[in-house]
Amino acid sequence: MYACASTWHYKVLKCWMSQDIRSGIGGHSIISDFSEWSRHPIDDLFREIVDYQRRVVVVEVGGFWQIEDEIAEQEENIRKDLADWMELFSEDGEKFFYNKHTEESRFDDPRMAVYHVLYARIKMVARMKERFPILARQPRPEEPTEAEKDLLRSCVLKIQTWGRVLLAKKRLQVAREQADERIAYLLFTVAV
């Protein structure tokens, strides 16, 4: 996919060193001393972007408003999750980060990885909008009014009731036919 392909060589994180070993792309995290050779570090994000495109283009969404709402919600959740982190300095003047809720402290900025993925997501969606300008300009559909919702509910109820009546009539007809067959069989056996 174009958005993912253009971002494949995107600088992932300062703490992640990209490496290309003959058969695949991978990297090594300087902080956690963790290596992964089968996937790109933001491979899950690429998969979500492909899902976004399917929802915008293939499914009958017809615009980017749902995706924009999801990204805004994700950003708000990130802000809430990171609100407990404080940037402090040790006695030696070294900067560290402290979570007042969990009482965890660390030297690497917890915001860096989280915001990096969020901004990469926003950038990829922006590229997707450039690729599909007509869908990017689609207005958000208006929410139905309460009167329209009530009308829709009553129509659905009428259709369901009509379907149940038809099914009941069919069952009654089948039951009558079966009863007529039994009576005919009984009359035939008595006559013989």
Alpha helices in 96-145 (DSSP H): 110-131, 133-136
| Percent of the chain's residues with pLDDT above 70 | 76
Q: Is residue 192 part of a domain?
A: yes
pLDDT digits (tens, 9 = 90+) for 84-131: 899 999 889 899 999 988 889 898 888 888 888 899 889 998 998 898
Looking at the structure, tell me whether residues 28 and 102 fall in a common domain: yes
- Is residue 16 helix, strand or coil? strand
Looking at the structure, tell me whether residues 45 and 64 fall in a common domain: yes
Looking at the structure, tell me whether residues 98 and 43 fall in a common domain: yes
pLDDT digits (tens, 9 = 90+) for 16-60: 445 554 444 555 554 455 555 556 667 788 888 888 888 887 765
**Distances 83 to 1, 45, 87 between C-alpha atoms, Å:** 35, 24, 11
Q: Is residue 88 part of a domain?
A: yes
Looking at the structure, tell me whether residues 64 and 127 fall in a common domain: yes
Name the domain count of the chain: 2
Looking at the structure, tell me whether residues 114 and 159 fall in a common domain: no
The rounded radius of gyration (Å) of the Cα atoms in the chain is 31
pTM for the full predicted model = 0.54
Tokens of 56: 């915008």
Q: Is residue 173 part of a domain?
A: yes
Residue 62 backbone class (left: φ over 0; alpha: ψ -120 to 50; beta: rest): left
Which residue range forms the structural domain that includes residue 73? 2-136
Looking at the structure, tell me whether residues 158 and 122 fall in a common domain: no
